[in-house]
Amino acid sequence: MNLDDLNKVAKAMVAPGKGILAADESTGTIGKRFDAIKTENTEDNRRDYRELMFRTTEAMKNNISGVILYDETIWQKAKDGTPLVDIIKKAGALPGIKVDEGIKPLPNSPGEVITIGLDKLADRLPKYYEQGARFAKWRAVIDVGPGIPSYDCIHANAHALARYAALCQAAQIVPIVEPEVLMDGNHDMDACQKVTTWILKETFQELFYAKVALEGIVLKPNMIVPGKGSKTRATVEEVAQRTVDVLKNCVPGAVPGIAFLSGGQTDEEATANLDAMNKIGGLPWALTFSYGRALQAAPQKAWGGKSENVAAAQRAFMHRAKMNGLAALGQWKADLEKKAA
């Protein structure tokens, strides 16, 4: 493991004004998104849709530091025969790869899940590196509800995250460590804060046991928000302050950066909350974004599966990337949303 090189990649992933495009939806997940825009879920359509984002030159150069790809996508070529990873690299961004294989029920823990995919991961990672991937992603899913999460769920998922991270670093790939406390449910902010603190503490303990170099990782956590079914809502200021408080309590300063997931927030909510955290300032790590839906919902709607709409979709993607780039600098303003390019 060359820690200097890992640290350089990790810092590039959270460079000022830039964040990560999560374009790693499984075939099933992107199928649901395509259903919403009445587009057939074919390999060509998946490629064409992702290619239009990767070729949005201004957004990729100015505001996107890296792209998380699904296994299908990292091997695909554009219509003109250019490998998609080469298009990403030419734009100045880093290709990355989702390496987990989804979730399965956690035995003896009703309502809880464990992420799978560690088997043969050591064999898969060198192939991804050779294909151009310089970072990877593994998502742990923590639900909040009556009697859950259990310690078994928290520990099992934190342990898997640490094993994954150690394998990535051994393969000279920066691991994105993603323990996500879901917004699903009717829990309040206090419950989200408690569970997020718990999973982050356990994760960093397991990373220590696994001898993972924190200088060579990027953390991808949820923000502290109430569940979608909660009767109480939160202001932007509350979300920002509570999230920063949890991070200060849990995340060592050696971590180069934190790239938040949007987790079901609207486009503007995810942008406003990130901006408010950066306006607090004085933090030891860079705070940026690793958004999927919050970057893609607008371009997907504009595209609608039609080639004549590619330019409109690219404008929508460019706008969302720019807004989040400003939020990563603490320079976003709500009235900028009205000036979509």
Residue-wise pLDDT tens digits, 196-232: 999 999 999 999 999 999 999 999 999 999 999 999 9
Quote the pLDDT of residue 339: 64
Evaluate if residue 341 carries a pLDDT over 80: no
Quote the pLDDT of residue 53: 98
Give the predicted TM-score (pTM) of the model: 0.97
pLDDT band at 338 (very low <50, low <70, confident <90, very high): confident
Mean pLDDT within 56-82: 97
Strand partners, 138: 177
* pLDDT tens-digit series, residues 5-36: 999 999 999 999 999 999 999 999 999 999 99
| Pair of tokens at residue 101 | 């294989």
Quote the pLDDT of residue 264: 87
> Cα separations (Å) of 262 from 4, 120, 161, 294?
30, 30, 20, 6
C-alpha to C-alpha distance for 16 and 327, rounded to whole angstroms: 10
Peptide bond into 149 cis (omega under 30): yes
Quote the pLDDT of residue 256: 98
* pLDDT tens-digit series, residues 86-110: 999 999 999 999 999 999 999 999 9
Q: At what angle do helices 43-54 and 27-36 cross, to 10 degrees?
A: 80
In the chain, the amino acid numbered 277 is M
In the chain, the amino acid numbered 338 is K
266 and 281 Cβ atoms separated by less than 8 Å: no
What's the CATH number for 3-339?
3.20.20.70
Q: What share of the chain in percent tops pLDDT 90?
A: 97
Q: Which residues form the catalytic set? A: 178, 220
Q: How many CB atoms lie within 10 A of CB 106?
A: 19
How high does pLDDT run on average in the chain? 96
Mean pLDDT within 78-92: 97
Mean pLDDT within 225-245: 96
Evaluate if residue 340 carries a pLDDT over 90: no
In the chain, the amino acid numbered 56 is T
Quote the pLDDT of residue 172: 98
Q: Where are the alpha helices (DSSP H) in 218-330?
A: 236-250, 267-280, 293-303, 310-327
* pLDDT tens-digit series, residues 258-288: 999 998 899 999 999 999 999 999 999 999 9
* pLDDT tens-digit series, residues 159-204: 999 999 999 999 999 999 999 999 998 999 999 999 999 999 999 9
171 and 163 Cβ atoms separated by less than 8 Å: no
Burial grade of 241 (CB within 10 A; 0-12, 13-18, 19 or more): middle
Domain ranges for the chain, please list them: 3-339
Q: What share of the chain in percent tops pLDDT 70?
A: 99
